[in-house]
């Protein structure tokens, strides 16, 4: 049932483009640390090459993925079909956080729509591409993207979002610092 690929094929790129939702998983090295998995929506995922992907990471209540990537780089992205033919796709790799102050920011950010509340871009170099059947995934009908996060960021304004990031996004729930914490020290 599971198939392993040495890169993100054209067919898998088309599958990714059809999905309205993906999941990001990461974990600290500590055996007592918390594994994190976050759902992502909106138009924030891009395939950069057959072995590299990126997503625009919006401000949230935590910043676990960024802290885990800074510590060990491990990341898994998962797409699953809730419509049409069943399929689960996992992209395993090593990731890094690109902040607005990074020299790579402008070239990467230009690939995404302007969405209020941006925090960073996560780039992952993909080492393993694997599909599985997805036979147990239920069918759901897509109704649209929620606008709550966008509305929240618009209401806070750019400075309000930055203030929120300084309050809530500098340290993971396991006490790991995030790349944003380095900005606050500068």
* pLDDT tens per residue, range 151-185: 999 999 999 999 999 999 999 999 999 999 876 65
Q: What is the DSSP letter of 136?
A: T
Output the pTM of the full model. 0.96
> Is-contact 184 63, C-beta < 8 A?
no
What is 3-185's CATH number? 2.30.110.10
Q: Whose CA is closest to 54, among 87, 10, 24, 15?
A: 24
Q: List b or e across 83-117, with b for residues whose CB sees 16 or more CB atoms inside 10 angstroms.
A: eeebbbbbbbbebbbbbeebeeeeebbeebeeebb
For the chain, domain boundaries: 3-185
pLDDT tens profile 10-40: 999 999 999 999 999 999 999 999 999 999 9
**pLDDT reading at 71 higher than 80:** yes
Tell me: the pLDDT tens digits for 91-135? 999 999 999 999 999 999 999 999 999 999 999 999 999 999 999
- Per the listing, tokens 């990714």 go with 16
DSSP 93: E
Residues 16 and 7: their CA atoms lie apart, in Å, by 13
């Amino acid at each position: 049932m599971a198939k392993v690929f040495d890169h993100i094929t054209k067919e898998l790129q088309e599958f990714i483009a059809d999905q309205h939702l993906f999941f990001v998983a990461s974990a600290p090295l500590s055996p007592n640390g918390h594994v994190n998995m976050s759902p992502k929506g909106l138009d924030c995922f891009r395939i950069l090459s057959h072995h590299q992907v990126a997503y625009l990471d919006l401000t949230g209540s935590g910043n676990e993925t960024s802290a885990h990537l800074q510590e060990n780089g491990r990341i898994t992205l998962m797409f699953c079909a809730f419509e049409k033919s069943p399929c689960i796709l996992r992209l395993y790799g090593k990731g890094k956080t690109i902040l607005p102050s990074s020299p790579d920011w402008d070239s990467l950010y230009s690939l995404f729509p302007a969405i209020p509340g941006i925090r960073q871009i996560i780039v992952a170099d993909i080492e393993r591409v694997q599909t599985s059947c997805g036979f147990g995934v239920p069918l759901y009908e897509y109704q649209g993207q929620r606008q709550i996060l966008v509305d929240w960021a618009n209401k806070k304004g750019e400075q309000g979002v930055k203030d929120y990031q300084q309050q809530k996004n500098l340290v993971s729930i396991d006490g790991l610092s995030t790349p944003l914490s380095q900005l606050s020290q500068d």
